[in-house]
Amino acid sequence: MSSEKLARRLALASIGISAVLAVIKIVIGVAASSEALVSDGFESTADFFTSGLVLAGLWIAAKPPDSDHPYGHGRLEILAGLAIGLLLIATGTGICLGAFERRHNPHTPALYAIWPLIGSILVKSGLSAAKFHFSRRIGSSGLGADAWNDLVDILSGAVALAAVLLSVFAASKISAADQYGAFAIGLIVVFLGLRVVRQTVLHLMDTMPDEKQMAQIRSVAMHVPGALGIEKCYARKTGLRYHVDLHLEVDPDLTVRESHEIATAVKQTIKDEIEWVADVLVHVEPHQMAKQLH
């Protein structure tokens, strides 16, 4: 099974898990009178929608290029990551406002509110690790954003757990610990949303890969016989992978056919050896040193 299919199945499983966790947390949170647990439940509700966006983005991004979309449909996967970030910011803001409004009505939650939080931390730890692995493997911005979302779930769950324990065992010292915990969870979610938005906006602005990746492209191209130099090399992410624009220098005395064969070999070699490259557009340029020697 391909990595893309496994990633889609992972996103689908995440939707079901997030739905179950959200229901459990909200129901038990209300029964146990835990503001922090209910807030964490609403954060899990947001996870349900974000995983759905990731699944839709992965499915559409996998569609092959067509006449109207010669670069494929991968940009929608990046837009899914952007939508996730904005949804997280809205969710976190709502959690913060709710906790702030109820800060003057402290109450002690029931101790059994800790069990959904402990279970959520364990489950989300496994999901986050799996999503980070596959997001790096297939270059998915949406799945990577969802992995960070799961990571913040672990942090928010830990904060909520601490808040419940403090409310139960240190109520005389920190009477509103549960409300403060809910507010902290909201801040964590907002921070994560801002981080995800920044990362996806960089991709939408065609930010180049890091220098190590660009050096890899140049190195692979220069190992092709007939490639004498690289004048320019650009790359932009159009979904799960990158499209490369490369200006290749060859001997100026070669025929058009010979130059074209070298360019084709460079294109195919880069695509074969670098899995995160979707396609390469090679422009042939005369090599100045070779021209001077002749």
Q: What is the pLDDT of residues 263-280, one digit of tens each?
A: 999 999 999 999 888 889
Residue 258 has pLDDT above 80, yes or no: yes
Better-scored residue on pLDDT, 270 or 61: 270
How many CB atoms sit inside 10 A of residue 104's CB? 8
Residue 2 has pLDDT above 80, yes or no: no
Rounded to an integer, the average pLDDT of 134-142 is: 72
Per-residue pLDDT band for 203 (boundaries 50, 70, 90) equals confident
Per-residue pLDDT band for 216 (boundaries 50, 70, 90) equals very high
Better-scored residue on pLDDT, 185 or 119: 119
CATH of the structural domain 211-293, one choice from 3.40.470.10, 3.50.50.60, 3.30.70.1350, 3.30.70.1150: 3.30.70.1350
Q: Which residues pair with 247 in a beta bridge?
A: 232, 283
d(CA 9, CA 192): 24
Residue 246 has pLDDT above 90, yes or no: yes
Residue 105 is predicted with a pLDDT of: 67
| Alpha carbon separation from 266 to 13, 42, 211, 253, 277 (Å, rounded) | 40, 51, 20, 19, 13
CATH code: domain 3-204 is 1.20.1510.10
- Percent of the chain at pLDDT exceeding 70: 84
Better-scored residue on pLDDT, 44 or 269: 269
Per-residue pLDDT band for 118 (boundaries 50, 70, 90) equals very high
Residue 33 has pLDDT above 70, yes or no: yes
pTM, full prediction: 0.60
For residue 37, the 8-state DSSP code is H
Q: Which of 29-33, 175-179, 233-237, 280-284 has the highest mean pLDDT?
A: 280-284
- Average pLDDT value over all residues in the chain: 81
How many CB atoms sit inside 10 A of residue 56's CB? 17
Q: Which of 43-52, 70-79, 211-220 has the highest mean pLDDT?
A: 211-220
Residue 293 has pLDDT above 50, yes or no: no
Q: Domains of the chain: which residue ranges?
A: 3-204, 211-293
| Alpha carbon separation from 24 to 28, 32, 37, 113, 169 (Å, rounded) | 6, 12, 10, 10, 23
Full 3-state SS string of 56-122: HHHHHHCCCCCCCCCCCCCHHHHHHHHHHHHHHHHHHHHHHHHHHHCCCCCCCCCHHHHHHHHHHHH
Residue 171 is predicted with a pLDDT of: 62
| Alpha carbon separation from 47 to 19, 43, 144, 164, 203 (Å, rounded) | 8, 6, 13, 22, 22
Q: Which residues pair with 235 in a beta bridge?
A: 244
Do β-strands 242-250 and 229-237 pair in parallel, antiparallel, or remain unpaired?
antiparallel
Residue 294 has pLDDT above 70, yes or no: no
Residue 174 is predicted with a pLDDT of: 65
Burial class (CB in 10 A: 0-12, 13-18, 19+), 41: buried
